[in-house]
Structure 1
Amino acid sequence: MHKILSIFSFNGVCALKRFIRKGILFLVLLFTIFGLISPVFVYKTQHMGKLKEGLYLSDDQYDVVFMGSSHMNGGMDPNVLWKQHGITSFNYATGGQPINVTYYLLKDVLKKHQHPIVVLDVFYLGMTNQYGERGLVSNAIDNMKFSFNKLDAIWNCTPPEDRISYLFPVLKYHFRWSSLEWKDFGFDCSSVYYTKGFVAGTDKYGKPISKWEDTDSRIDIPQKSLEYLNKIIELSKTEDFQLILVNMPCDYSGPNQQSGWINDCEALFNTVADYAESNQIPFLDLYDLAEDIGIDFANDMNNSGHLNLWGAYKVGTYFGDYLAQNYDLTDHRSDSAYAQWNEDYKYSQVATILKK
């Protein structure tokens, strides 16, 4: 009897092991399939084109990289810096990009570029929510190459219940199966590379800002924002790059009343100015400098929070002059190795005329 029980016990263990092996194999195959088909289901947007081409596919090296939210995305045109100063740059900003997502995206940028000047948009330091808006965070994380850094980004920047869908985007975009197009199977990321990541609208806000009033008040930087700002500052030391903080022109009346946001942007950026000075980091508050730059809020803003093409040109001209005067950057315009940058500039101008 004991011998019979031993046989059954042995057979049971073997069956359990086979079941576990098959289960593991099934999960490996399932996750492999999810990984292979997920890029097909991810939305083919300008954000995908700029990140895939500008970060992983192109071999170009940039003197300057722009990081941050849509305020930066539509506020700094690398083609302006190229035309006026021969500075190579790329705009890696995406709409609704919280500072923690920026940190992990910057780590990928630094794998490609050695010691660039990093220009960081500080607007999203004002976010008080634990996590950014799902659809907007996806603009960045969905288009990052799979790596341990991406896993860290998913773990630290997304809520627990959403993490598996950031790892396998097909789980959140599966509803697209009936509307897939040919471009979903072979999206040409190079088609938008001439913009160097910049996208701005051509609308005009039509309203003057209510006031350009100075204030001496301060409020604390939200804890999570401060944590990741410190991480970026520490990264600038370990990776040996120069960091510049900027704040774009914006009508603060909207964000000041927005849920999940601090209620006094002016006071926040006063605190940022103090913090930058204490850490010996340049901070350009382009909101305060708007009159010097020549920003006409009614005509140079696309809406209350974003510059339009004309405003971005003014800001790019001002910032390019600032870089040329304060940093030792090579003018590449006469270098034949950079001839394509001249062609991309021309193409950007044609595209701008068509947009107008």
Structure 2
Amino acid sequence: MNKKENVKKNIIDFSKIVIFLSICGVLLWCITPIFVPKNNTKKSGIKYENARGFYGERHNSIDIFALGNSDLYSAMNPLELWNSHGYTSYVCAEPSQNIFSAYYLLKDIFTCQKPKLVILEVDQLFTRNEADDIDDAFNNILKNKFPLFEYHSRWKNLKTEDFTNKVSYISRVESKGYIYHNKARPNKLGFKYMKNKKNSTITMTTKMYMKKTIELAKNHGADVLLVWYPSATTGTIDRHEAVQKLADQYNVPFIDFNVNQYDTGFNWLTDTRDGGNHLNYNGAKKMTKYLGKYLIENYHLMDHRQDNAYNQWNLDYQSFMKKNKLL
């Protein structure tokens, strides 16, 4: 085979690969809508419906969104913020959420809401290593472009309506993403965990996505606040300093309840449900009370309690309190 024939063969082979990949891409594009859940409920197949109840809220009615992992949905109670200050907020937290999934979830938020403040719970910034982060980032890109990769297991439960491509995310979550727990199991060592030595490196990929997330929020007119709720399983002085360095770099405020309790009265003997990993309702109430005070002092947020358009929030608060026997 001469050089000319060899070049021709290579071009043909390359063309076949391009055609094959193009066909695969078109098929993915066509098939993906079938697998996308048609409602934002667990029954419909949505992932972590608790974090996605905001789809069912009235458009552009929520002023504060918070993103993070289970530490967040155990520590921030939007209904407490509502009852005390009339602020509308939603906790978009998922178990083991990382900054990559948080970024794409925030992009979804901006399709239907215009928050004035985005809160990032920073426990999610400490991952295993760079290789895993690159893999997670790539997977999130794929799942964002082709939700089929997220919902491929739904093939066993597909129904007639799944072939209509009509998505109607109308389900609401009464607690606005907060998950209630009243059990108390103390952490008797208190804040001694802050002296522990753990990996305090924030990978370059995580830093890149944190910057992207902050820029996404600011480009949509939202301020950004970093928060770290008490966490005996992950918090250390070195990690606090690593986050503080990023906060200073990106010029965003950072509240760390692991290094300063801000006169909240927080007590590890009464305010955790599992020995220090997550807070209980008592702990969340203290954290949320301080957050409300901080928001009053640092932001200009609207009190909607006298606005009839937000009356459902009053109903949700009353229902939540009665259901959990808090009244």
TM-score of the two chains, using structure 2 as the length reference = 0.75
- The answer (yes or no) to whether the contact 1:165–1:172 under 8 Å persists in 2 is no
Q: Deviations over 1:106-127 (max 9, x none)?
A: 1221232335201100001111
Superposed displacement of residue 310, structure 1: 1.4
Q: Distance in 2 between matches of 1:235 and 1:31?
A: 26
Aligned-pair RMSD on alpha carbons?
A: 4.1
Please name the residue that 2:5 is paired with.
none
Question: Counterparts of 1:232-243 in structure 2 under 5 Å?
Answer: 232-243=213-224
Secondary structure of 1:92's partner? strand
2:203 counterpart of 1:222: yes
Q: Distance in 2 between matches of 1:28 and 1:233?
A: 33
Q: Distance in 2 between matches of 1:192 and 1:237?
A: 27
Q: Distance in 2 between matches of 1:320 and 1:125?
A: 24
Question: Counterparts of 1:313-332 in structure 2 under 5 Å?
Answer: 313-332=285-304
Q: Distance in 2 between matches of 1:226 and 1:47?
A: 25
- The answer (yes or no) to whether the contact 1:50–1:189 under 8 Å persists in 2 is no
Change (3 A) 1:46 1:171: closer
Superposed displacement of residue 353, structure 1: 1.8
Secondary structure of 1:65's partner? strand
- The answer (yes or no) to whether the contact 2:226–2:255 under 8 Å persists in 1 is yes
Please name the residue that 2:269 is paired with.
298
Please name the residue that 2:174 is paired with.
194
Q: Say which is worse superposed, 32-41 or 339-348, in terms of deviation.
A: 32-41
Q: Which runs of 5+ in 1 are unaligned?
A: 1-19, 138-152, 256-263
Please name the residue that 1:104 is paired with.
104
Change (3 A) 1:29 1:337: same
Q: Distance in 1 between matches of 2:27 and 2:194?
A: 60
2:307 counterpart of 1:335: yes
2:179 partner letter: V
Superposed displacement of residue 93, structure 1: 1.4
1:200 partner letter: Y
Q: Distance in 1 between matches of 2:55 and 2:146?
A: 23
Change (3 A) 1:238 1:40: closer
Q: Distance in 2 between matches of 1:128 and 1:235?
A: 25
Q: Distance in 1 between matches of 2:299 and 2:211?
A: 23
1:123 partner letter: D
Superposed displacement of residue 57, structure 1: 5.9
Change (3 A) 1:172 1:265: farther
Superposed displacement of residue 60, structure 1: 5.0
Change (3 A) 1:196 1:275: same
Percent of residue pairs bearing the same amino acid type:
29
Superposed displacement of residue 284, structure 1: 0.2
- The answer (yes or no) to whether the contact 2:62–2:115 under 8 Å persists in 1 is no
Q: Deviations over 1:44-100 (max 9, x none)?
A: 489643454413664251111111111112211110000000111111111111011
1:157 partner letter: N
Q: Distance in 1 between matches of 2:28 and 2:282?
A: 49
Please name the residue that 1:352 is paired with.
324
Superposed displacement of residue 209, structure 1: 3.2
Q: Which runs of 5+ in 2 are unaligned?
A: 1-18, 163-167
- The answer (yes or no) to whether the contact 1:212–1:288 under 8 Å persists in 2 is no
1:36 partner letter: I
2:101 partner letter: V
Q: Deviations over 1:238-288 (max 9, x none)?
A: 223210000010113xx4xxxxxxxx7330121211321343211000122
Q: Say which is worse superposed, 329-338 or 234-243, in terms of deviation.
A: 234-243
Q: Distance in 1 between matches of 2:56 and 2:311?
A: 21
Secondary structure of 2:75's partner? coil
Change (3 A) 1:343 1:56: closer
Q: Deviations over 1:147-180 (max 9, x none)?
A: xxxxxx7x4537x8x9999525553355x65xx9
